[in-house]
Amino acid sequence: MQPAVYLFVLCLIAESWSLKCWDCRSDSDPKCADPFDNSTVPIKDCRQEPDLPHLPGVRPTMCRKIRQKVHGQWRYFRSCAYLGQPGIAGDERFCLMRTGTYNIFMEYCTCNSKDGCNTGALPSLNWPTLLFVSGLAIAVTWSSSFVL
Ligand SMILES: *[C@@H]1O[C@H](CO)[C@@H](O)[C@H](O)[C@H]1NC(C)=O
């Protein structure tokens, strides 16, 4: 290949790794909560984020938004995300939900479709997608029951 072509391909790869995410937590900035107000919240380039101490070499490739209800109080966190897949079954409109003990509820959303995608402004759901994803969830549960 020509050096110019190499350079072009390298730029494409570098570009695909560039992602910016909103970075805040609602306990220090109330604007981090929903509805999200980006006026004072910094946006971070995930390429500039350090490796996590417990995940050496793992780079953040997504944005995330976490919504937690602990003892009746909502907390929001937005940042770059290191692990997992964007969205659920590739659909960023869906988030992981967890209910724990002690009145704890957590919603975990990931995305990488565009810079600052962790606003949490959900586009309206449509029924075919909802049916498809719930069908997929059922199929996954059903097939994993044979593995266990
Ligand atoms: C911040 O929010 C406003 C209003 O929703 C939007 O027009 C603007 O593009 C956002 N800024 C960035 C950097 O995304």
Q: Before 35, cis peptide (omega within 30)? A: yes
For ligand 1, the distance from its centroid to the CA atom of residue 50, given in whole angstroms, is 26
Residue whose CA lies nearest to ligand 1 atom number 7:
38
| Pocket lining: 38 vs ligand 1, CB cutoff 6 Å | yes
Residue found by looking up tokens 């997929």 in the block: 136
Q: What mean pLDDT, rounded, does the chain reach?
A: 83
Instruction: Write the burial class of residue 146 (CB in 10 Å: 0-12 exposed, 13-18 middle, 19+ buried).
Output: exposed
For ligand 1, the distance from its centroid to the CA atom of residue 100, given in whole angstroms, is 34
What's this model's pTM, rounded to 2 decimal places?
0.73
pLDDT at 126 over 80: no
Residue whose CA lies nearest to ligand 1 atom number 9:
38
| Pocket lining: 116 vs ligand 1, CB cutoff 6 Å | yes
Per-residue pLDDT at 101:
80
Measured from the Cα of 37, ligand 1's closest atom is 2
**Which domains does the chain show, CATH number per domain?**
20-122 (2.10.60)
What are the pLDDT digits (tens) for 26-59? Answer: 999 999 999 999 999 999 999 999 999 999 999 9
pLDDT band at 87 (very low <50, low <70, confident <90, very high): very high
Per-residue pLDDT at 27:
94
Per-residue pLDDT at 25:
97
pLDDT band at 1 (very low <50, low <70, confident <90, very high): low
